[in-house]
């Protein structure tokens, strides 16, 4: 069960990273959220053969990762589960679109290959930017941002409570797994005969804990509407951050920067 | 200040967790609720907070504990849960501490100021920005008490405040509890701690009050304690 342990650690690590302090962490969540959404929309709007145009869009994740102290290696490592899916979607393109676009030496590059590579690049960029947003914005700040954008309180509260509940569930599961492992050291996983009672117990224990947590919230004045500690007003620096980046994305969308730079040398 | 009249709590239709008990607590009194497991200590606290349904009546500063008054009641009572993990639900200590004051309409700045004061009161200013899941048991307990103090309650209810603490942290928690100048109701098996913090003790057994009086007298009554599945505080046993 080391995979489970590492998954728990990854989730906790993400929560820790999002609470760090850096220039990017300090940007208002609404500004970051809007920037990320626009970045994703612009990235997705690139032409299916425009791989070179898309190259400039890599600058944004690089900028956010380096400014916030995030590890690009970790970011890419986290894509390992989703990346195969993206590749799977585009894998048939080379078979359907065989028209040659250009040659690299003796090798002819077909439209299908280009569109597949573009699709993978778009996927990587969208996922990296989403990860950068989540890793630099504490969940409470995300929720405060969503509220400011007019998302109904019920949805935001549900989202936040679900996020908190995941940790409760993980804690309980972790304790139960330790207890199981100590008494069944030769089992590789949980034996099928124990699945039913294990899941039942997990559910009951988690519900008990969740109820206690909710009581604790109610006793401290919670009445369904979160007042977020990390919530502050949008400042001029936040708006400036958002506008500069969005302007850069729009510029990158209409000017093929890679081609312009390449033209300087060719 | 608190009046409990003929209160009965049933968790199911047959078994009474608390059976027809009555007592009063005066302002600034420190009362220890003691008793064996299942005696009804936590249940009576939960009844005061309106967390469990009960028969009879409970008044807190002349306000009856009924659904319509629950907000007023909960502003007066601060409850420290037995398990601090269940109390601390925000990512960091400061966010957890500001949760209550923000809910009660304080501005962000005011809430932070109140939280800072509670941190200073508990002597844990260094924990302000720490992540809750990275705190030690003692730190978590201190932070949980600080969270409740940040609500500025008139009455403090504490459920096993020293459970699972090492002697060093236990001593710190006891000292801090003694420094809190409010009405306190402390439920615990730790009779040494009760002796250190409470002037009055209510001994519960199977949901009924067996003894109610001076802490020193009850906690040195070996026969009474043993009859109710408790033991003399260690300091008395050791002389």
Q: If you average pLDDT over residues A142-168, what whole number do you get?
A: 82
What are the phi and psi torsion angles at A174 (to 5°)?
Answer: -60, -45
Confidence (pLDDT) at B210: 95
ipTM of the complex: 0.79
Q: Is the Cβ–Cβ distance between A14 and A221 less than 8 Å?
A: no
Alpha-carbon gap, residue B237 to A93, rounded angstroms: 83
**By the 8 A CB rule, do B190 and B162 touch?**
yes
The pLDDT confidence band at residue A229, using thresholds 50, 70 and 90, is low
pLDDT of residue A1: 52
Indicate whether A185 pLDDT > 80: no
In this predicted structure, what is the pLDDT of residue A230? 56
Q: Does B89 touch chain A (CB under 8 A)?
A: yes
At residue A168's C-alpha, the angle toward residues A166 and A172, to 5°, is: 115
From A10-14, A59-63, A193-197, B120-124, the region with the lowest mean pLDDT = A10-14
pLDDT at B138 over 60: yes
Of B42, B24, B20, the closest CA to residue B33 belongs to B42
Q: How far is CA B90 from CA A27, A143, B52, B123, in A?
A: 21, 13, 25, 20
Share of chain A above pLDDT 70, in %: 95
Give residue A110's pLDDT.
84
A contact test, residue of B84, B90, B98, B133 with most A CBs within 10 A: B90
Rounded to whole angstroms, how far apart are CA atoms A260 and B17?
A: 79
* Tens digits of residue pLDDT in B61-119: 999 999 999 989 989 999 999 888 888 888 789 988 998 898 888 888 899 999 999 99
Token pair 């969503």 is found at: A146
Query: Rounded to the nearest 5°, which phi and psi values hold at A232?
Result: -135, 175
Q: Do B151 and A221 touch (CB under 8 A)?
A: yes
* Residue whose structure tokens are 């807190």: B60
Residue B234 has pLDDT above 90, yes or no: no
What pLDDT is attached to residue A51? 86
B199 or B104, higher pLDDT: B199
How many Cα atoms sit within 13 Å of B128 on the Cβ side? Answer: 13
- Summarize the confidence of residues B145-150 as an average pLDDT: 92
Q: Are residues A216 and B108, on separate chains, in Cβ contact within 8 Å? A: no
Residue A231: band (very low, low, confident or very high) from pLDDT cuts 50, 70, 90: low
Question: Which has the closest alpha carbon to B92: B49, B140, B162, B52?
Answer: B140
pLDDT tens, residue by residue, A36-90 = 999 999 999 998 888 888 889 999 999 999 998 888 888 888 888 788 888 888 8
Residue B53 forms contact with A (CB below 8 Å): no
CA dist B80 → A9, A240, B86 (Å): 29, 45, 10
Which element (helix H / strand E) includes A264? helix A257-265
CB contact set of A3 (below 8 Å; sequence gap of 6+): none
The model's confidence at residue B184, banded by pLDDT at 50, 70 and 90, is: very high
More confident residue, A93 or B118: B118
DSSP string, A76-141: HHGGGGTHHHHHHHHTTHHHH---EEEEETTEEEEHHHHHHHHHHHHHHHHHHHHHHHHHHS-HHH
For A42, half-sphere exposure in the C-beta direction (CA atoms, 13 angstrom radius) is 25
* B12 confidence band (pLDDT: 50, 70, 90): confident
pLDDT value, residue A4: 65
Please give the pLDDT value at position A248. 94
Confidence class of residue A140 from pLDDT cuts 50, 70 and 90? confident
* Average pLDDT along chain B: 91
Comparing C-alpha atoms, which of A55, A76, A66 is closest to residue A131? Answer: A76
Cβ-based interface (< 8 Å): residues of A facing B: 12, 15-16, 19, 138-140, 164, 167, 171, 209, 212-213, 215-223, 227-232
CB pairs under 8 A between A and B: 69
A235 SS3 class = coil
Residue of A9, A25, A220, A223 to mutate for B, most B C-beta atoms under 10 A: A220
- Best B81, B89, B130, B134 residue to mutate vs chain A (most A CBs within 10 Å): B89
pLDDT of residue A260: 84
Number of neighbours of residue B9 by Cβ within 10 angstroms: 21
H helix runs in chain B, sequence order: 41-48, 70-76, 84-87, 93-103, 108-122, 137-149, 167-179, 191-197, 215-219, 222-227, 234-237
Q: Cα(first)–Cα(last) distance of chain A, in Å?
A: 55
Q: Give the helix/strand (H/E) hosting A68.
A: helix A59-68
Residue A15: its chain B contacts at CB < 8 A?
91, 131
Q: What is the mean pLDDT of residues A185-212?
A: 84
Q: Say how far apart CA B176 and CA B184 lie, in whole Å.
A: 12
C-beta neighbour count of B186 within 10 angstroms = 26
User: Which residues of B are less than 8 Å from A216 in CB distance?
Assistant: 79, 81, 86-87, 89
Closest in A140, A212, A232 to B86, CB measured: A212
Residues of A in contact with B81 (CB under 8 A): 212, 215-216
Q: Nearest CA to B80 among B42, B38, B134?
A: B42
Of A231 and A227, the structure prediction assigns the larger pLDDT to A227
Whether residue A3 has pLDDT greater than 70 = no
Average pLDDT, chain A: 84
Phi, psi (rounded to 5 degrees) for A41:
-60, -45
Which position has the higher pLDDT, A9 or B69? B69
pLDDT in tens, A95-136: 887 787 777 877 888 888 888 899 999 999 999 999 999 889
CA distance B224 to chain A (A): 33
CA-based R_g, chain A, Å: 23
Q: State whether residue B20 sits within 8 Å of chain A by CB.
A: no
Confidence category of residue B46, pLDDT binned at 50, 70, 90? very high
């Amino acid at each position: 069960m080391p995979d489970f342990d590492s998954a728990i650690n990854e989730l906790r690590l993400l929560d820790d990273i999002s609470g760090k302090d850096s220039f990017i962490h300090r940007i208002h969540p609404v500004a970051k959220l809007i920037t990320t959404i626009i970045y994703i929309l612009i990235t997705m709007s690139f032409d299916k053969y425009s791989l070179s145009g898309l190259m400039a869009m890599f600058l944004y994740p690089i900028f956010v990762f380096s400014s916030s102290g995030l590890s690009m290696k970790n970011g890419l490592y986290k894509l390992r589960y989703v990346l195969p899916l993206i590749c799977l979607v585009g894998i048939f393109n080379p078979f359907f679109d065989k028209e040659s676009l250009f040659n690299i030496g003796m090798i002819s590059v077909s439209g299908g290959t280009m569109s597949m590579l573009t699709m993978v690049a778009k996927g990587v960029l969208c996922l990296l930017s989403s990860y950068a947003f989540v890793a630099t914005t504490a969940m409470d700040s995300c929720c405060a941002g969503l509220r400011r954008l007019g998302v109904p309180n019920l949805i935001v509260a549900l989202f936040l409570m679900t996020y908190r509940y995941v940790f409760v569930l993980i804690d309980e599961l972790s304790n139960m797994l330790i207890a199981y492992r100590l008494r069944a050291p030769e089992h590789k996983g949980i034996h099928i005969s124990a699945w039913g009672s294990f899941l039942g117990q997990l559910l009951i224990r988690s519900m008990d804990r969740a109820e206690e947590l909710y009581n604790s919230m109610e006793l401290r004045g919670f009445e369904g509407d979160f007042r977020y500690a990390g919530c502050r007003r949008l400042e001029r620096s936040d708006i400036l951050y958002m506008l500069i980046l969005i302007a850069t994305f729009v510029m990158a969308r209409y000017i093929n920067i890679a081609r312009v730079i390449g033209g300087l040398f060719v | 200040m608190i009046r409990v009249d003929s209160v009965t709590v049933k968790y199911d239709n047959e078994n009474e967790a608390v059976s027809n008990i009555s007592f009063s607590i005066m302002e600034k009194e420190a009362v220890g609720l003691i008793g064996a497991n299942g005696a009804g200590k936590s249940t009576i606290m939960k009844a005061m907070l309106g967390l469990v349904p009960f028969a009879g009546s409970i008044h807190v500063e002349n306000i009856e504990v009924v659904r319509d008054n629950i907000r007023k009641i909960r502003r007066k009572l601060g409850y420290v849960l037995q398990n601090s993990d269940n109390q601390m639900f925000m990512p960091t200590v400061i966010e957890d501490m500001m949760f209550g004051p923000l809910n009660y309409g304080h501005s962000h700045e005011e809430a932070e100021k109140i939280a800072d004061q509670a941190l200073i009161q508990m002597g844990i200013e260094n924990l302000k920005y720490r992540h809750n899941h990275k705190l030690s048991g003692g730190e978590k307990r201190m932070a949980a008490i600080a969270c409740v103090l940040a609500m500025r309650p008139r009455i403090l209810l504490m459920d096993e405040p020293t459970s699972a603490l090492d002697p060093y942290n236990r001593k710190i928690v006891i000292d801090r509890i003694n420094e809190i100048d409010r009405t306190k109701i402390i439920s615990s098996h730790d009779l040494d701690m009760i002796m250190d913090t409470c002037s009055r003790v209510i001994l519960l057994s199977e949901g009924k009050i067996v003894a109610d009086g001076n802490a020193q007298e009850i906690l040195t009554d070996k026969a009474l304690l043993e009859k109710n599945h408790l033991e003399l505080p260690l300091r008395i046993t050791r002389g």
